[in-house]
Amino acid sequence: MWTATGVWRWRRNPLRRPTDLFEAWVAFAALICVLLVAPAIGTVAGMEVDGTLQRAAREQRQERYLVPAVVVRPAAVPPTGTTTGTEADPSAQRQAPQRTQIVASWTAPDGSSHQGTVPAAEEPPRTGDRFRIWTDTQGRLVGRPLDASSASAHAAVVGLAAALAAAALVETVRRLVVRRLMHRRYILLDRAWAATGPDWGRAGAGS
């Protein structure tokens, strides 16, 4: 509001310099970008990310399965993140809570049998206990699939970050333009003083 008022006030002010009006219009354009363009960029970015994450979530739900597993024995060594004959998904290791490690066996959706080190579902783990784990079709350990609400939350954060980044960029450009204008004003002032300074205060010099 103050920017728009400033632009209007400088329109016909007799003391207005060309750079004053230009600076006011730059500020007005920056305000429009912050209020309209930046939110639009954030919305578009959020929608794009949400679409990508929702597709990934659907693919994960189709490719990941919750299968029953049986506790075989406590793990004799620290977890290595490997299973017999297959490699565990790193995301499963990152998402696994810090619990007692056990050796468990399970049957994959494709019918193959597997045995590997996984976190215990209950404390303390007992041999023969049954629990469920996430695997892919071949029985490799994977993390829990991304749900739709989490995907939307991540997309909202990305959209907000994009809007803030766009607004910050606009403000940075505005400040650079104003700094350039101030530099130009000083140059013009120096030139004007160089032209009139020697005659300043002299009788008949028109000063």
Per-residue model confidence as pLDDT tens digits over 41-69? 999 999 999 999 999 999 999 889 999 99
Look at the block and give the residue holding tokens 């403000």. Answer: 171
Does 192 fall in a domain?
A: no
Does 174 fall in a domain?
A: yes
Look at the block and give the residue holding tokens 């399965």. Answer: 65
Q: How many domains does the chain have?
A: 2
Does 29 fall in a domain?
A: yes
CB 104 within 8 A of CB 79: no
Per-residue pLDDT of the chain (207 residues; tens, 9 = 90+): 455 555 556 556 655 666 777 778 888 899 999 999 999 999 999 999 999 999 999 999 988 999 999 988 887 755 455 444 444 555 544 554 467 888 889 999 988 999 888 888 777 778 888 989 999 989 899 989 999 999 999 999 999 999 999 999 999 999 999 888 888 777 777 777 777 666 565 555 554
71 with 135, same domain? yes
What global pTM score does this model have?
Answer: 0.62
45 with 80, same domain? no
Distance CA 35, CA 155 (A): 21
Does 165 fall in a domain?
A: yes
> Structural domain of residue 130, as residue ranges?
65-144
139 with 153, same domain? no
CB 186 within 8 A of CB 180: no
> Which of these, 37, 40, 105, lies nearest to 71 by C-alpha position?
105
177 with 106, same domain? no
Q: How far is CA 75 from CA 71, 101, 115, 116, in A?
A: 10, 5, 12, 9
